[in-house]
Structure 1
Amino acid sequence: MATTYFTEDHEWLRVEGDTVTVGITDYAQEQLGDLVFVELPEVGKAFSKGDAAVVVESVKAASDVYAPVDGEVTSVNEALTSDPALVNSSATGEGWLWTMKLSNPSQLEGLLDEAGYQALIG
């Protein structure tokens, strides 16, 4: 069963075993506005928690999306290359950004649950 966590930087991560799927929250995509470009990482690239991993560009601004945990990129959502607006229409579904292999499970302990994230943006 998957467990979903959130960061204070408005990323969500869905954890299943040692696989982490990462995206931005509905709140984040609303703040950005219509996305026009997503720069995805390369498969095989390793990130440390807090590293800039993805760039999302909207009609308003460009923003970094940070790696929420240490790990290596195992796949990217290629559909976003031709349709970045998937993030706007389905931020926590079809608009996921990348998956990674979790290398330090203890980092999950410092993340927010749904209630904690809602309190943050409340």
Structure 2
Amino acid sequence: MPPLRAIACIDDDSSVLEAMGYFLRSAGYSAFAFASAEDFLNFSDISALYCLITDVKLGGISGMQLLRQLAASGLAVPAIVITAFDDEALRAQSVAAGAIGFLRKPVHEGELLGLLQTCGER
């Protein structure tokens, strides 16, 4: 079982994963990095996660498809969507897919911390 406040980060850009992992650990979270949604789906303790942070555009299953798949499977993990493409339609799709937040890259650390606090209130 992952430690309390464990966060899974999914992004196909290794530099984003590295930076996100460093930031999350410095903020007191545990971070698990995945280069694809498919890799993440092989993680054994999805339901024990504090939060999931996923990019929208991934090779293979997209971040949106992943959120829909998790919801259909009954795995309610608070999710934050990050993307380099900020548009209202994408934001609305994220919320409709179950995301608690939508952030544009580069991610502002204060906004991310605020959303992560929201995860703990659920």
TM-score category of the 2 structures, normalised to the smaller one: under 0.3
Task: Pick the structure with more helix per residue.
Answer: 2
- Name which structure has the greater RCO, CA cutoff 8 Å, separation 6+: 1
**TM-score, normalised relative to structure 2:** 0.26
Task: Pick the structure with more strand per residue.
Answer: 1
**TM-score, normalised relative to structure 1:** 0.26
